[in-house]
């Protein structure tokens, strides 16, 4: 059976670091309050001159180098983002050109908020299984701080910027993406959203309408319950026992959500990749950044079984079971 296997990983974080103490100067909050409720103590923020595609470019270049291939070897580009450079062309199309990827290779963005990378990974795997692609590039890249209301202490403490990428290749071996599961429920729109888009017209845009709105307590409850179900679905579908999971690579939104998912899997936290403390919630970039971090520091090794999962605005959620 043909599967998409991970050939290489890469990530990029902007240079600017914003700590909880920096945020204390902006809103009524404290370092202790943020740490206790989220696990976050700092996050990265893009430079004024940077856009989402710039972050994606560096992460992709590092993934290509890790994989030992060049842009000319890539035949599909998918960028997961909810903060694209432009309405069009897609960030993926521009990235295709900047990486000298073969003209004609399909390139497109996926918008599924924090679940975007899992969605993009599942889509790329389907391309590979169908024979439509042999070596995809999948990127999660976000400039979330561009859509933050820095006067809203409920959201400005949570998010950061960054990008992560993987190069996939078709494989006939048992390694690779075993299964992926993608879901959405738009009835929860009012709990986590940005209340403006270009389809509404610029007359509907005001000083605050382009920023994230979130009802945190409600989101937390739904996220924990939903991620529990997606974990069960992933394991049952693949007929894998939870004891076989070597690493959980969760979306990095909140340490309490991560801990609840690990508890469901009966995984000790030292088998969970956690980067939320130093990166915050980088939305679609969080899972690939966490993956690359653990690959580069030697924790994740070839042959190990990984469970990636994410939950985001929409609501969207998904998982990918991967033999690395």
Q: Catalytic residue numbers? A: 114, 251, 281
Plot region of 11 (φ>0 → left; ψ -120 to 50 → alpha; else → beta): beta
Q: Which residue has the tokens 């690939």?
A: 288
What is the rounded CA–CA span in Å between residue 212 and residue 82?
11
- Strand-pairing partners, residue 8, are 167
100's CB contacts (< 8 A; 6+ apart) are 70, 71, 72
Look at the block and give the residue holding tokens 């998010």. Answer: 159
* Three-state DSSP string of 174-194: CCEEEEEEEEECHHHHHHEEC
Cα–Cα nearest to 39, from 221, 258, 248 = 258
User: 20 with 146: CB under 8 angstroms?
Assistant: no
Residue appearing with tokens 């903060």: 83
Asked whether the beta carbons of 320 and 175 are under 8 A apart, the reply is: no
DSSP single-letter state for residue 28 = S
């Amino acid at each position: 059976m043909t599967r998409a296997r991970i050939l290489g990983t890469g990530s990029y974080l902007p240079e600017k670091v914003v700590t909880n103490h920096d945020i204390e100067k902006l809103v009524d909050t404290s370092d202790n309050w943020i740490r206790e409720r989220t696990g976050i103590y700092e996050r990265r923020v893009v430079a004024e001159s940077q856009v989402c595609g710039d972050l994606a470019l560096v992460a992709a270049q590092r993934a290509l180098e890790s994989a030992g291939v060049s842009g000319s070897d890539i035949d599909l580009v998918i960028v997961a983002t909810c903060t694209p450079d432009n309405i069009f062309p897609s960030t993926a199309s521009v990235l295709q050109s900047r990486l000298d990827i073969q003209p004609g290779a399909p390139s497109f963005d996926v918008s599924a908020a924090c679940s975007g990378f899992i969605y993009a990974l599942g889509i790329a795997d389907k391309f590979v299984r169908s024979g439509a692609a042999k070596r995809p590039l999948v990127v999660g890249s976000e400039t979330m701080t561009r859509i933050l209301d820095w006067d809203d202490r409920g959201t400005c403490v949570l998010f950061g910027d960054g990008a992560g990428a993987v190069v996939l290749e078709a494989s006939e071996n048992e390694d690779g993406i075993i299964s992926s599961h993608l879901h959405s429920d738009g009835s929860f729109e009012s709990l986590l959203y940005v209340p403006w888009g270009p389809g509404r017209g610029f007359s509907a845009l005001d000083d605050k309408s382009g920023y994230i709105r979130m009802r945190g307590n409600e989101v937390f409850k739904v996220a924990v319950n939903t991620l529990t179900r997606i974990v069960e679905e992933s394991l049952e579908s693949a007929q894998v026992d939870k004891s076989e999971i070597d690493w959980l690579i969760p979306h990095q939104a909140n340490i309490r959500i991560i801990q609840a998912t690990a508890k469901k899997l009966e995984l000790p936290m030292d088998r969970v990749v956690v980067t939320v403390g130093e990166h915050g919630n980088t939305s679609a970039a969080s899972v690939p950044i966490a993956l690359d971090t653990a690959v580069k520091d030697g924790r994740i090794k070839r042959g190990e079984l990984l469970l990636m999962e994410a939950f985001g605005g929409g609501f969207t959620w998904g998982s990918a079971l991967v033999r690395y």
